[in-house]
Amino acid sequence: MKIGFIGLGNMGAPMAQNLARGGHSVTGYDTATISLQGVGSASSATEAVDGAEVVVTMLPNGDILRRVAAEIIPAMQKGAVFLDCSTVDVDSARAVAEMARDAGLLPLDAPVSGGVGGAQGGTLTFMVGGDEDGFEKAKPLFDIMGQKAVHCGASGNGQAAKICNNMILGITMIATCEAFALADKLGLDRQAMFDVVSTSSGSSWSMNTYCPAPGVGPKSPADNDYKPGFAADLMLKDLRLSQAAAETADADTPLGAAAMALYAAFVEEEDGAGRDFSAMLPRFSGRGRGS
């Protein structure tokens, strides 16, 4: 396929390169000057999408997505797939999908899970909202860039799935870190704690796969001084998206709100910026009720 790719940052660049290695003709554009082996370079977003059968966007937020969409949609050919892989608010995803559909395009919102490592290794998971026709047309590209793509239903549902998943992740990571900090103060060895919880009713992905305690369980960012696999800053972004969606939908999410407040304090007032989201463990370990 002829593919236009807009947004060649830490995630977009390896995704675009994987598509090129997969035999597709990829033309990329980014506001920063970036040169990627195997990927053509356009001087503007509209040039990148000219004649493309699929246009992929990987952008920082909903406002930028709306601006880019308004610029490129008139330049895209009818019947093309507009595949947005950004993580943005549900309202922006649905507004852009409506603009694209009105222009005769096939819009898909397809945020990803797997981080930079998944983008580089082609092992991302895509959560996809939009029409079945668009999903089927884009499926060969999902197979190159990732290991799994789940069609979640109508436009916006990909974003809904992503923020609901990451709300669970943020909440369970905080609970896991709180429990380890409590276990420390009760004199329970961390390895014993892991051995019990990972095979009991308290088990979770945060405990079993991404354990926040260094030297315990499978290797994780905790074993690398909490250098980010998934940055606390990004977790805060996703939790804020979840709470904005909860307010719009009139959903009661008190634990999601509490997790957002804790990550906001961690990132903006403490030392969490630039650290992995599991670095909540040393944060709790150094605290007591009077801290």
Q: What is the pLDDT along the chain (291 residues), one digit of tens a residue?
A: 999 999 999 999 999 999 999 999 999 999 998 899 999 999 999 999 999 999 999 999 999 999 999 999 999 999 999 999 999 999 999 999 999 999 999 999 999 998 888 999 999 999 999 999 999 999 999 999 999 999 999 999 999 999 999 999 999 999 999 999 999 999 999 999 999 999 999 999 999 999 999 999 999 999 999 999 899 999 999 999 999 999 999 999 999 999 999 999 999 999 999 999 999 999 999 887 655
Distance from C-alpha of 127 to C-alpha of 124, rounded to nearest angstrom: 10
pLDDT of 84: 98
The CATH superfamily of 160-286 is: N-(1-d-carboxylethyl)-l-norvaline Dehydrogenase; domain 2 (1.10.1040.10)
Q: Sign of the C-alpha dihedral, residues 11, 274, 283, 270?
A: negative
2-154 has CATH 3.40.50.720 classification: yes
Global pTM value? 0.91
The segment(s) of the chain belonging to CATH 1.10.1040.10 are: 160-286
**What amino acid positions are annotated as catalytic residues?**
162
- Residue 208's Cβ-side half-sphere holds a number of Cα atoms within 13 Å equal to 10
Alpha carbon distance, N-terminus to C-terminus of the chain = 58
CA distances from 169 to 33, 54, 201, 225 (A): 35, 31, 17, 20
pLDDT of 289: 62
DSSP reduced 3-state for 146: strand
CA distances from 124 to 28, 29, 97 (A): 20, 22, 22
